[in-house]
Chain A
Amino acid sequence: MNGQTDPWTLLVIVGLAGITVLTRCFFFILDRPWSLPGWAHRALHYAPVAALAGVVAPEVMMSNGHFVATWQDARLFAALAGALVFFWRRSVLVTLLLGMAVYLPLHLGLHW
């Protein structure tokens, strides 16, 4: 890390590229039509949102491996503002802009 290119990260990236092809082409890689078992179809409804929440929650609510001990953390306010404005405007772009508009002054100005 820290600006150095290492073979392990490149391997991970190539693998992720394979996963993009696998998932985007999932049902038309093979020529024969086929279908998933029922439980897998049901899992498709919940797994994507669960995976994102599993990644996002620790990024917002933890620092150095511990639950944030103070409410004076710019990430909490930015993520909350971003989520609220999404449900109002339905735009990832607006979420990004408002979230950063909340984050940067708190982070740079108040060092939260």
Chain B
Amino acid sequence: MFFLREIHRHPEFPRGMRATAGVAPGIAAWGLMTGVAMVKSGMSVVEAVAMTLLVYAGSSQLAAIPLIVASAPAWVIWATGFCVNLRFVVFSLHLREYFMHMPRWRRLVTGFLTADLSYAVFTHEFPEPARDPAGRLAQESFLAGNYFVTWVAWTGASLAGVALGNLIPSAWGLGFAGVLCLVGILCSMANTPLRIVAALIAGAAAVAAYALPLKLNIVTAIAVAVIACFWLEGRVPAQLKGRPA
């Protein structure tokens, strides 16, 4: 935990901060545009600040914005956010061996703060979980320094974006920056041929089923794409399936 003296006084804490400094400008730029996109979509400042501090997950925030604007039912927004966040479920299986020695509340806070790039930097630095208490403390301290920089960059830039968004006229269309961030994340996730197929099917299905009430076109698109890929898995050569993440 970052607020414990044994953690932030540990020499691994500043090392974790330095290791994350290189990706911080990218996180900040993305956070800035997310802040602008939230306000320009019509969310109030209170809502945008609450979303920044509580949700702390850029892709699910950006995916939720158009659904909130369209007054989609809460369960559709949550289901969409859950699916967008499913990559964290995969990460959590990996992080389990690093975190299980902690008490549960400490695991939950650490897990909440470990976003994509924190996970990537941390597991790159420590490919194996520590086996002894000193090593575990060192790893936790590194991770705390790492997510501390990530949190400051993301939250600071998002709040700046919320303030800035209020000053920029809506006619400029800066809310579209949020969609462009999602385009980039989408491309980064479409890293095997079958995942590209999943993206194409889901995109087409979401447009075709747009007339469905309650924004159900998105849930439909996910279901159609996943079922289609299950069916295709057994029918395409192994090299086209790609290496699972």
User: Do A and B make up one complex?
Assistant: yes
B26 at the interface (CB under 8 A from A): yes
Chain A 30-66: CB-based contact to B (< 8 A → 1; otherwise 0): 0101000001001111111111111111111110010
Are B176 and A51 interface neighbours, CB within 8 A? Answer: no
Among B120-128, B137-145, B194-202, the stretch that binds chain A is: B194-202
Interface size class, chain A: 35 or more
Chain A 17-32: CB-based contact to B (< 8 A → 1; otherwise 0): 1011111111111010
- Rounded to whole angstroms, the CA-CA distance of A10 and B50 in the bound complex is 8
Q: How far is the CB of B234 from chain A (nearest CB, A)?
A: 11
Residue from A13, A43, A75, A108 with most neighbouring chain B CB atoms (10 Å): A13
Count residues of chain B with CB under 8 A from any CB of chain A: 99
- Rounded to whole angstroms, the CA-CA distance of A12 and B61 in the bound complex is 11
Are B83 and A51 interface neighbours, CB within 8 A? Answer: yes
- Rounded to whole angstroms, the CA-CA distance of A31 and B17 in the bound complex is 30
Are B225 and A19 interface neighbours, CB within 8 A? Answer: no
Sample of 5 further A-B pairs with CB below 8 A, known A1-B71, A52-B199: A15-B78, A17-B56, A25-B108, A61-B207, A100-B176
Give me 28 A-to-B residue pairs in the complex whose CB atoms sit less than 8 angstroms apart, sorted by A's number. A1-B71, A2-B42, A9-B43, A16-B61, A19-B81, A19-B85, A24-B88, A24-B114, A26-B88, A27-B93, A28-B100, A29-B104, A43-B86, A45-B245, A46-B225, A46-B229, A48-B83, A49-B198, A53-B203, A57-B221, A60-B183, A79-B179, A83-B183, A86-B183, A92-B30, A95-B181, A95-B183, A103-B176
